[in-house]
Chains A and B, each alone.
Chain A
Amino acid sequence: NAGVTQTPKFQVLKTGQSMTLQCAQDMNHNSMYWYRQDPGMGLRLIYYSASEGTTDKGEVPNGYNVSRLNKREFSLRLESAAPSQTSVYFCASLKVKQAHTTQYFGPGTRLLVL
């Protein structure tokens, strides 16, 4: 079990460039999430997908798009990167079990926009 995997690990972009962050999970979870983490601001939800074929906006969706390609994969796209999108991006999936729900996070993608 690889858990939640993310690619790339690091990326440097110039303002206006586009890129797609990839995420995959092998735990057969229905729900998947994209967060960004900035110093002193915790984790802020960008988009989530409650199940295959559905996506919804989170707290900070502007400047991002997502695709739930299948049950395993959930990608995040920056169409025109801005310096304000410099952050660490985490993908997560959700396991729902009696008395517990657990989010499993990937290792993160560190993005620098110049």
Chain B
Amino acid sequence: QQQVKQSPQSLIVQKGGISIINCAYENTAFDYFPWYQQFPGKGPALLIAIRPDVSEKKEGRFTISFNKSAKQFSLHIMDSQPGDSATYFCAAALYSSASKIIFGSGTRLSIRP
């Protein structure tokens, strides 16, 4: 079974702090790792994604760190804001055959004012 394990299940961070969500995958053939953000009552939306040819990708306050040898990747949210409160899903896929994307179980992030 191709799995993506995500932790923690829930996370509470003070405003201005750093939120960190971790994921691990099993299939070394995966070569595309997106993160999705989901607000209550809405569908998930792509937040940021990385290919394994780089170890880090940054977009604004959001950074993906990627460790190919450990088969792990993480999302860092700097200067976390109450508007970042949402559920975050990591995923792994075969970029060349993006017909299937395996999602992690999700992390519910709450930012305290």
State the A residues within 8 Å of B (CB): 4, 31, 40-45, 48, 50, 56, 58, 90, 92, 94, 96, 99-108
Contacts and interface: CB of A to CB of B under 8 A. Distances in A.
A108 to B, nearest CB: 6
Interface string B79-113: 00000000001000101001111011110000000
B10 to A, nearest CB: 10
Q: Which 3 A-B pairs have the closest CB atoms?
A: A105-B43, A42-B105, A43-B103
A90 B43 contact: yes
A103 B51 contact: no
B32 interface: yes
B101 A107 contact: no
Given A40-B105, A42-B104, A31 B99 contact: yes
A103 B105 contact: no
B46 A107 contact: no
Interface of B: 6, 9, 32, 34, 36, 41-46, 49, 51, 89, 93, 95, 98-101, 103-106
Given A45-B100, A94-B98, A101 B93 contact: yes
A64 B46 CA distance: 27
9 contacts: A42-B89, A50-B99, A58-B100, A101-B98, A104-B45, A105-B44, A106-B43, A107-B41, A108-B42
A42 B100 contact: no
Given A45-B101, A103-B36, A107-B42, 17 more contacts: A4-B43, A31-B98, A42-B89, A44-B103, A50-B99, A101-B98, A102-B46, A102-B49, A103-B34, A103-B44, A103-B46, A105-B43, A105-B45, A106-B43, A107-B41, A108-B41, A108-B42
